[in-house]
Structure 1
Amino acid sequence: MASTGSGLLHCQRDAYALEGVSKVVACIRSESPDSSTYHVTLEDSVLYPEGGGQPWDLGSVNGIDVEKVVKGTGSNKEIVVDLKQPVEVGAEVVCKVDWNRRYDFMQQHTAQHLFSAVADKLFKAETTGWALGAEYVSVDLSTAPSFLTASQIEEIETETNRMIASGSAVNWKIYSKDQIVNHDPTNADSNSPAELNLLRGGPKGAALELDELRMVHIDGLDLNPCGGTHLRGLSEINLLKVMGFEKDAGRGCVRVRFVAGQRALNYFKESLQRESSL
């Protein structure tokens, strides 16, 4: 979910914000006769809507549990949350984030950026798709016409964990289309930001239909368009473990499955418990 600078949601401006006040723009009951869901449009929110491969946040609005969050069809700063109870249009409501779910997604999503950047750096492997699932993250890596080998994937995993231990900073910044298109990495006298040299995929890889673009920057390694919620530093990922991979000849890629952060720690804990029970 790419976002412009003027349309950033509260959750995109500060991924660590757990609570915030939003104004209710609309409250419409679902048209389905069997549904008691209300679609509530909010003006800005700490709740992240589904988009860009990252699932939506859970939490509450005025104490009412959130079932789903999607991007609004109006301004860039509107979202629609599904609730089981109505709220008053025009009222200000308190939105709270399920932090365990949010932080897990931040760990997995930041780990995906890092893993993809390392794969590109080591083997020019292009990330052609990714998904953040309930159990693991999957990343599709293409080095067509060849395929990544098991030893190469292990090397990517090793370098990714080395980068995690380095604790490099992660941040975001807004860049204009002109900055991206006109950047010349061969011009040492250029006034454009030096980190644009790290833009994965180059200008063609950016969503240049927007006049402004939010980019997530891993210090010294990667710059990539993204509207998701991310950690402040790689050390917060703690650990990444590749669980397996499959070659997809039809799509010309290798799909790698991994877990990071608390998911990786849980994976090792469960593995040890299984071994000790044998």
Structure 2
Amino acid sequence: MDRIENAQMNSQGTRKLYYENVHQTDFTAVVMECVPDKEEGYYRIVLDASAFFPEEGGQSADKGTLNGQEVLDVSIKQGILYHKMTCELPAGTEVTGHVDWNRRFDFMQQHSGEHMISGLLHSHFGLENVGFHLSDREVTLDMNGEVSLEQLRLIEQEANAYVWKNLPVNISWPSSEELLSLNYRSKLALTENVRIVEIPGVDLCACCAPHVDTTGQIGLIKIVNVQSHRGGVRINILCGGRALADYTEKQDSVWAISSLLSAKQPEVADAVVRVKEDARQQKERANALQAELLKVQMNALPSPEETCHVLLFVGELDAIALRNAVNSLTEKYSGYCGIFAGDDANGYRFIVGSSSCNCQELATRMRQEFQAKGGGSAPMIQGNVGATAEALRKMWETL
């Protein structure tokens, strides 16, 4: 029995044309049912046959049109495909369908690449794929154990070596008896109508989704991220066109950074480290100078006999230095002692303290008059405000 007959025999409900010919994008079919969803304002169209792969097995549905109208989504229930649309297609109507091939092939590249990575992780380290997600934006696979970055790079190299060998991707529908002799990967315990995807020497897995004909059609497999996830790891991959687009985007960034730093491309990381270190040292020097200036400003303030409330405006200064300065002022002045760091254009970070006044009352007033944000306690408050220095000085004069 050939592949098409197997597919037809194992299909139930809607005839699934994507199992008969994964490359078929245009088809005609008859509407069997058109169910309105009054709450959502959509129609769910059932056809006698469809080339649209539904959302299933962690993969998003195909996109395309029926009679030129957009198919918003495709779902499956008990073997029946439901095409979500905004227009009504009455039962008995013959329709023309079109599947977006670029999206279909992109998903085929990603899914086949995922099988290769998952299969190799299983054969080398005994890891099981316990979660898979494929959408327009990302491809993730969740493994039930830890794997190091070095191990993943070896897996990536091996997977791409198999890509370049252009191995066949075989599809079969084994009988229940034949399944008993197969050591295949599956998240669920399956006994009948099982579709097996085989990449010789790489992976054997139960899967419902369309795949490439040969591994060479994947083009390239790239692991782009890995992180701990529920006792194992979540791996992000990109394959084929997505991998090329990602490389192009990152290459453009490297070119731009290389030009900005006047560094050769392989040396941009070291150049960034040097720039960061220079910036850190410059910031330390600026903070030291600002702290010295703050001391001069504090010494120039009126004496405690002349005023009990004091206010200072400074440039950017770290929070510890601001807090220490305010604490020093509260030992000398009995009223509100405030320091505002920043400028009128970008706003100010502030710390206000007092040894005898309730700073929370001042915080309330600043919120009411200037929409200031922040908080604290009676002895000290801190936050941000977008008022001008002149407006803040006028308020201080009324304290």
TM norm structure 1: 0.84
Render the CA deviation track for 1:126-169: whole Å, top value 9, x for unaligned: 111111132221111123xxx21111111111111111111100
8 Å Cα contact 1:172-1:215 kept in structure 2 = yes
Conserved 8 A contact 1:10-1:44: yes
CA distance in 2 between counterparts of 1:253 and 1:14 reads 37
The alpha-carbon deviation at position 200 of structure 1 amounts to 2.9
Give the structure 1 partner of residue 210 of structure 2. Answer: 229
For 1:55 and 1:48, how far apart are their aligned partners in 2?
9
Equivalences for residues 18-29 of structure 1 within 5 A = 18-29=25-36
User: Secondary structure of 1:213's partner?
Assistant: coil
Shift of 1:206: 5.6
2:71 to 59, 66, 80: 66
Aligned to 2:327: none
Alignment-derived partner of residue 191 in structure 1: none
More helix per residue = 2
Quick one: distance in 1 between partners of 2:158 and 2:75? 35
Q: Does 1:239 align with 2:220?
A: yes
User: Highest relative contact order (Cα 8 Å, sep 6+), 1 or 2?
Assistant: 1
* Change over 3 Å in CA distance of 1:93–1:215 after alignment to 2: same
Paired residue total = 249
Determine the C-alpha separation between the residues in 2 that align with 1:241 and 1:222: 18
Report the secondary structure of 2:223's partner residue.
strand
Percent identity over the alignment?
A: 29
What's the CA shift string for 1:44-100, capped at 9, x where partnerless? 200111100110011000111110101144xx2x31111121112012211100111
Name 1:189's counterpart in structure 2: none
Cα deviation code 1:189-230 (max 9, x no counterpart)? xxxxxxx35x236xxx6642x422111111233221111010
The 2-side partners of 1:4 and 1:127 are apart by 29
Structure number with greater Rg is 2
In structure 2, the partner of 1:50 is 55
The answer for the alignment partner of 2:325 in structure 1 is: none
**Coordinate RMSD, CA, aligned:** 1.9
Residues 17, 207 of structure 1: CA spacing in aligned structure 2 closer, same or farther, 3 A cutoff?
A: farther
The 5 Å alignment of 1:125-274 reads 125-143=127-145, 147-181=146-180, 183=181, 196-197=182-183, 199-200=184-185, 207-208=189-190, 210-248=191-229, 251-274=230-253
What is the CA deviation profile of residues 220-252 of structure 1, one whole-angstrom value per residue up to 9, with x for unaligned ones? 33221111010001001100111111112xx22
- Which among 69, 79, 82 is matched to residue 80 of structure 1? 82
Cross-structure match for 2:254: 275
